[in-house]
Structure 1
Amino acid sequence: MQPTELILQLQQKNEKAFQRIYELYSENTFGVIYSILKDEVLAEEVLQDVFIKVWDNAARYSEKKGRFFTWILNIARNAAIDKTRSKVFKNSKQNQTADYFVDILEEKNSFSHKIDAIGIQKYIDVLEPVCKKLIDYLFFKGFTQKETSEALDMPLGTVKTRNRNCINKLREILDV
């Protein structure tokens, strides 16, 4: 079945199409969520919420606005960021064990591992180092533009402009 046909069936509330979409996209979507939350149980919860949103909002997806996979990843990223801003999440992270911090430093959680997990390594490799940093902070670590500005000691306007330029460069590379 062609992806376009699968999406159309999802938009018509076909459960088998939804199941197939879940099979195709859930692993990579979980990877994006987990890279932001660093908590497997929470990431699984958010993953379920994301696919409920995909089911509920499928009719709103438009091919003209971008690729379906990108649409799902944006829902996932936003849901994960929303979770990190929740009071429950913040309270749960106040007393972290040393294992949590060791996990952050391990190679398996590196930026290159995350981008390879969702299949964009070859596209990211051609970007300038500043773009790699911005994408890491804004999309994989879930930072806001203001937080990224502070973390990189870069003016907020510069972060916004460079982010826009980096995304445009990625679009050119992907020919979207």
Structure 2
Amino acid sequence: MLVEVDIVRQLKEKNVAAFGWLYDCYAPSLYGMILKLEPDNSIASVILEESFLNFWLQIKSYDSAKSRLFIWMVKITIQQCKEVLHLPKEVILQKLNPKISFRTGSLSIR
């Protein structure tokens, strides 16, 4: 089993096998999250593909002191959803977690 520090190091070295491991490990979870926002499989697949391309291109900017790898990946995936679906961040977060309610100037949890 790879440790997150090792996988990040290998990804920053552009190790293709490490990227394959990353995809195998995290794609199902990220795809499920995307499907909550976009039920069309073809569009969701494009968003997932673009997200992984961004992971590959942006891995050098990943800082483990700021977040775990998966959280960093979720943030990039949410950004990709915003770009493709043209949805405000609040709508995306509401669809991902319906227990959170966004109102102007406030946040409440149901």
TM bin (shorter chain): 0.7 to 0.9
| Secondary structure in structure 2 of the residue aligned to 1:64 | coil
Secondary structure at 2:21's aligned position in 1? helix
Matches within 5 A, 1:25-174: 25-85=26-86, 138-139=92-93, 141=95, 149=102, 154=103, 156-159=104-107, 162=108
Cα gap change, 1:32/1:14 in structure 2, threshold over 3 Å: closer, same or farther?
same
Aligned length: 102
State how far apart, in whole Å, the 1-side matches of 2:52 and 2:40 are.
18
Letter in 2 for 1:48: E
TM-score with structure 2 setting the length: 0.82
- How much identity, in percent, do the aligned residues show? 23
Higher strand share: 2
Q: State the one-letter code of the partner of 2:38.
A: L
Could you say if the C-alpha distance between residues 42 and 138 of structure 1 is closer, same or farther in structure 2, counting changes exceeding 3 Å? closer
Cα RMSD of the aligned pairs, angstroms, is 2.2
Counterpart-to-counterpart distance in 1, 2:94 and 2:81 = 10
Question: In the aligned structure 2, how far is the partner of 1:36 from the partner of 1:64?
Answer: 29
Q: Which runs of 5+ in 2 are unaligned?
A: none
Structure 1 runs (4+) deviating above 3 angstroms are none
Equivalent AA in structure 1 for residue 82 of structure 2: I
- Confirm or deny: 8 A CA contact 1:32 1:140 kept in the other structure: no
TM-score where L is the length of structure 1: 0.53
Following superposition, the deviation at residue 21 of structure 1 comes to 0.5
Match of 2:8? 7
| Greater per-residue helix proportion | 1
Is there any run of 5+ residues in structure 1 with no aligned partner, and where?
Answer: 87-134, 143-147, 164-176
